[in-house]
Structure 1
Amino acid sequence: MKKGENLNLSKDKVSTSWQIILFSLNQNAIAQFKAAFSEIPENDTHLSIYQTDSQEQLISFIRNSQKTFLNLDISAIEPDKQLALISQINHKTRSKFCHTILWIKRNTLPFIIENKIELEVNDIRFIEDLSQLYVKSVFNTIYTNYLNNFKFAAKDKDNHNLFKKIEHLSDFNKKLLKAVIESSNIKTKLTQQRIAIEQQNKEIEERNLELERAFKKSSINHIKLEKAFHENELQRKKLEELLSELQETNQKLETQFHEIMAQRDFIEQQNEEIQSQRDMALKQRDKIVAQQEEINDNIQYASKIQQALFPQTDWVNVLLPQHFVLNRPKDVVSGDFYWISQNRHKTIIAVSDCTGHGISGAMMSMLGTAFLNEIVNKNDITHAQLILEQLRERVISSLHQDISQNMEYSRDGMDIAVCILDIVDNSLEFAGANNPIYIVRNKELIEFKADKIPIGIHEFCNEPFTSHRIDVLQGDNIYMFSDGYADQFGGIKGKKLKYNNFKKILLEVNELPIEEREQILNKKFVDWMGQQEQIDDVLVLGFTVM
């Protein structure tokens, strides 16, 4: 058997020899066909056998031949594609001689029979029966039939060679052919018998129909009565069912009505309760609003008092001609405060961060302001170290703080930086309780650290504060501040600004005129904070030594 791709047929040249073509995707079928036709000499030019699994090549074989035995194995093709393939083959073979044997699976037989007229095939075989012997039997039967039914002219060399080929095949399968012919005769007899039995069955059916018609005629009145009775019975049952359904529906409606009425009463009761609660909530809201207004009024009044306690602007301008103050309370009132006073040739400046913020911080800041006025202005103490120690004693005493008590509940106090500027000897005395100061000189920032001791109760509250004496130069810039600026969260990562960045900002603004520094410091703070909430009071005081 020749493989399809070895066939040398051009589109313009049509072969006049006989072709046996096997189209199959089934390897077992291909093997059985090869074995069945292996005895046919391959060099015989009047009978060619080809095998292909390409639909395009199959159509080419049929188009280029006038006489074809086509074995079409569609057992491995999807059903919806089977009919399309056979339809295409029928279209190509209508003007030619082509005997088509369709090889299928048994379970697809109903589908094939249903479409047999459209398929126009000559024979249908089952792929499950396929074997070498079975293939020879089928084709010997076909060859014999065509030898008996077709007269080929003796002078036609091609047809003469074809007869020889078929006779040759019949000789070496003589016994097999005899068995096939006998089997065919038996099948013919069985078919004749089947037709006779079917004819008898038809006659019996016709007689039965006549008897049935007679019976129907004799009992038609009885049937009509039965039908009328049956219809009346059905109608009675339907009426009973409808009545039962109406009664059931009525009961359901009554139940739903009672449920709805109960729900209405419950909803009305809930509405009354809601109305009562709403009235109570409105009263509470009005009360809260009134209380809030009163609290706001009190806070505003406290703010006015706190502002009154802050140094007056004119007085500060006299003592510190070149200065600025950035004051950003977290709330209306602040826990951060600054304080300035003069004693002879000394200017005393304090910047403090009291515990907490808002009202609590403001109360502590007013207490701190009062104590500083008493210590400096009344008691005439003008040394930074002593001012802090006196302030600590007064805070501890006024808040009734005791070192022997649990200090976690008595941490109220303040962090503070005190600077005393002596305009006679151009010196600056500094003492700090947790609050350092920065001096910027010649674009360099110098930090003077504070003692790690707060103003208030502490485990080292009996320790003295450290005093720093600093020689200052004209043009030096001193910065005093609370921790609110450096501790503010913000930036891209939402972290604290921290003191290193705060120092960089101070060095940047130090290059600006003193009157612009407050605005730029505030803008940088707002930019850093972004959408974050301000977490603490912010106070920065800066002045230039004249």
Structure 2
Amino acid sequence: MPLDSSAPAGSSGHVAGDLLESPITVASSNTNYDILELFTATPELGNIPVVNDGHPIGIINRNTFMSTLARPFHREIFGRKSCTAFMNPSPLIVDYHTPLTELSYLVLDIGEKGLSDGFLITSEGRYLGIGQGVSLMQALADQQAAKHRQMMESIHYASVIQQSFLQSSRRDMAGALSDYFMFWDPRDIVGGDYYYFVKRNDGFFVAVIDCTGHGVPGAFMTLIMASALKQVLTTHDLQEPAELLAAINRQVKESLGQLARDDLGGEDVRNEDMHSDDGMDCAFCWYHAPSRTLSYAGAKTPIFLLEENGDGIITIDGNRKGVGYVSTALDYRWDTHRVQLQPGTRLYICTDGIIDQIGGAKRICYGKKRFKESLLTHRHLPMAEQQHKLIQAFRQWQGENARRDDVSLFGVHIA
């Protein structure tokens, strides 16, 4: 006899009650012949709840019932007996408002029967209906898909925000340079790579930055670094890249609380007390056009120079300390390298997303050697065409291997 299965007041989404079904119910007074008749007349009926006086006492599963009754003499012996003989007397019983996530753990705890028999849904102990295991799996899949869509929509919008921070640099780059490229490709829509460019009457400043991590955590770090750089530029000169790195290092370490024992005058600060250990690798360059002088300071990020008639790539390495990390002293000083550039020199800066990418037949890193060989191969092309060739070679090396990191690559031909 079917019972009233209306939802209780105040029900909300993503709960057991969302899966409520109202199949035929029976009482313990019904016989196994009654159950056989119901299953025979209703092929789509998988489970029958057993309910006495509005309270659930068990579930009869079609497959279990039919296979048991088919045994020799079982129909004759058990046919007129109570249907409780073949029911599951300990079904999973849940309240209407049980969250689906909690319900999924309860179903998994009881194993296969939780999926095959389903679960009985009640309100204040009174039977409302039944939920099927397959319906729960579908609801969880739909819920996960909805969360994924929401997350991806948020990340795509975050990408718009992150790219908006690059707009002024793009404008200045286009206004100051005639033959150049800036390739920026996050691994996960948003990322931890960032670049900054400022045009001045007597030259330009360019920074290529690789923050800790990639994806959303990396993107958060780029915002922190962009803010730190902007603030530091209010009191420091663009023409001294090493001073900028030192100032950003102090600001990041202090704002994120990433101070080591030496920074605190010998006070013992254990690693577990640290909230984070994040920072950036980067190359900061100031080019003074009248004197054709390039001033460079780098944190684990080298620059590459290719002279017009040179035989090879000149590599200038930065310091081996990152900016802002716990292991970098609060008063650490980076070195400044000053280079007189010949007319026609090409300057390249890349993050380690290119250098460290696994690929090739032996699945090894792309490496600086292959990167420099690629620069030499395409040296006579205009910079925009060079970008295409360089990235094409990089992706051919990567092949079917997963991208390891964000990729940024800057190149400029200084006439």
Cα separation, 2, equivalents of 1:300 and 1:344: 36
Name the structure 2 match of 1:386: 243
1:447 matched to 2:279 = no
- Name the CA distance, whole Å, in 1 between partners of 2:115 and 2:212: 52
5+ residue gaps, structure 1: 1-248
For residue 532 of structure 1, give the secondary structure of its aligned residue in structure 2.
Answer: coil
Separation in structure 2 between the aligned mates of residue 470 and residue 506 of structure 1, nearest angstrom: 20
Matches within 5 A, 1:341-380: 341-376=198-233, 379-380=236-237
Measured after TM superposition, the shift of residue 255 of structure 1 is 5.7
Structure 2 residue matching 1:444: 3-state secondary structure: coil
Aligned match for 1:270, one of 101, 116, 127: 116
**Is the helix fraction higher in 1 or 2?**
1
Q: How does 1:399-478 map to 2 (within 5 A)?
A: 399-404=256-261, 405-406=269-270, 410-441=276-307, 442-461=310-329, 462-478=331-347
How far apart are 1:495 and its partner, in Å?
Answer: 1.5
In the alignment, residue 334 of structure 1 is paired with which amino acid? G
The answer as to whether partners of 1:427 and 1:471 remain within 8 angstroms in 2 is yes
Secondary structure of the structure 2 residue equivalent to 1:351: strand
| Alignment partner, residue 305 of structure 1 | 161
Letter in 2 for 1:430: Y
Query: Pairwise CA RMSD of aligned residues?
Result: 2.8
Report the equivalent of 2:373: 504
Output the CA distance in 2 between the equivalents of 1:309 and 1:434.
24
Change in 2 beyond 3 A, CA 1:316/1:284 = same
Shift of 1:444: 1.7
What's the TM-score, normalizing by structure 1?
A: 0.50
Amino acid at match of 1:439: L
CA distance in 1, matches of 2:259, 2:80: 73
| CA drift at 1:393 | 1.0
Q: Residue 434 of structure 1 contacts residue 453 of structure 1 at CA under 8 Å; is this kept in 2?
A: yes
Q: Residue 288 of structure 1: SS of its match in structure 2? A: helix
Other structure's SS at 1:386 match: helix
Sequence identity (%): 27
Q: For 2:390 and 2:84, how far apart are their aligned partners in 1? A: 69
Change (3 A) 1:367 1:440: same
Structure 2 runs not aligned, ≥5 long = 1-70, 89-112, 120-129, 262-268
Please list the CA deviations of residues 297-320 of structure 1 after superposition, one character each: whole Å capped at 9, or x if unmatched.
221121111111114434211122
Distance 1:381 1:505, change over 3 A: closer
* CA distance in structure 2 between the aligned counterparts of 1:460 and 1:308, rounded to whole angstroms: 30
CA distance in 2, matches of 1:480, 1:382: 18
TM-superposition CA deviations, 1:139-186 (whole Å, max 9, x none): xxxxxxxxxxxxxxxxxxxxxxxxxxxxxxxxxxxxxxxxxxxxxxxx
CA offsets per residue over residues 274-311 of structure 1, 9 Å max, x none? Answer: 94444444443333333222221221121111111114
**Residue 338 of structure 1, aligned match among 191, 195, 203:** 195
**Match status 1:494 vs 2:363:** yes
Task: Say which one has the larger Rg.
Answer: 1
Shift of 1:501: 1.4
Give a deviation string over 1:323-371, Cα, whole Å, max 9, x none: 1122221101011111101344231100011000001111111221222
Distance, in Å, in 1 between the alignment partners of 2:166 and 2:85 is: 66
Superposition pairs for residues 504-543 of structure 1, below 5 Å? 504-543=373-412
Matches within 5 A, 1:105-120: none
Change (3 A) 1:308 1:538: same
Asked if 1:316 corresponds to 2:173, the answer is yes
Runs of 4+ in 1 over 6 A off after TM superposition: 256-259, 261-264
Q: In structure 1, the residue corresponding to 2:118 is in which secondary structure? A: helix
Contact 2:179/2:382, CA 8 A, preserved across alignment: no
C-alpha deviations, 1:389-440, integer Å up to 9, x for none?
0111111122111202345853200001001000111100000011110101
Q: Distance in 1 between matches of 2:150 and 2:72?
A: 64
Task: Say yes or no: does 1:296 pair with 2:152.
Answer: yes
Q: Does 1:287 align with 2:133?
A: no
2-side partners of 1:309 and 1:276: how far apart?
Answer: 50
